Amino acid sequence: MLHAFWQWLYVLPTVVGITFAAGLTTVGWLYSARRVRTLSRKQHTFTALLNASFNHDYQEAMQLIGSVAQANRPLDFNDPDSAKKIKFILNHYEFLAAGIRNGDISEKLLRDSERGTVVHLYEITEGYIQKIRESRKRKVIFEHITWLVERWHYKPVSNWHKLLETALGRPFYHRYHCWISWAVLILMAVALGWGYWDISTTAFASRL
């Protein structure tokens, strides 16, 4: 029995070395791919924000929101010009929110620069959004900006949720995807442990 144990210890470094080398190769490839993806996402975000800052319609819409906030009065959605500007700015941030949700826009960059604007915009237009949904009988209208405001303001994600998203490199499209990811990680860990055990026992048997 003692002899068998020492034989197992003898082959263990080989198994560990193979596993470690394979792990390093995989981690290096994943890091490179993620780095490229992150840089591309930041570039898309910079481009979107820069283009918006020079857009005349965007500037007029932001001036309207600013004047409403300073005067502390509600928006007049019955005014065609105001309604047009509000629809434009809602569509703009709906596009950015969809980009974040699908992993094409940097959430951190947009949150650091536009969080207050997005939350305030949603708060003053929530009733208007609900009326549009009811009139068109489509609950998915402006669903992405709603998701983003809930995520940033009303229902912030947990630290465990953030940890998985950091590993994934993008937000989860739905909250239940987080639990699915945890289940997959557990199954992968079990499979990896089983495979490691199988390799070590096979190598040990070949030494006997």
Residue 180: HSE in the Cβ half-sphere, 13 Å Cα cutoff: 7
Distance, in Å, from the CA atom of 136 to the CA atom of 129, rounded to the nearest integer, reads 11
Whether residue 85 contacts residue 57, with contact meaning beta carbons closer than 8 Å, is answered with: yes
**Dihedral sign from CA coordinates of 22, 27, 32, 33:** positive
Q: What is the DSSP secondary-structure string of 45-63?
A: HHHHHHHHHT-HHHHHHHH
pLDDT digits (tens, 9 = 90+) for 109-168: 999 999 999 999 999 899 889 999 998 888 899 999 999 999 999 888 777 777 777 777
Burial of 85 (0-12, 13-18, 19+ CB in 10 A): buried
Distance, in Å, from the CA atom of 36 to the CA atom of 56, rounded to the nearest integer, reads 33
Q: How many residues does the chain have?
A: 208
Given a cut of 70, is residue 105 above it in pLDDT? yes
Count of other CB atoms within 10 angstroms of residue 113: 13
Band the pLDDT of 13: cuts 50, 70, 90: low
**Reported pTM:** 0.69
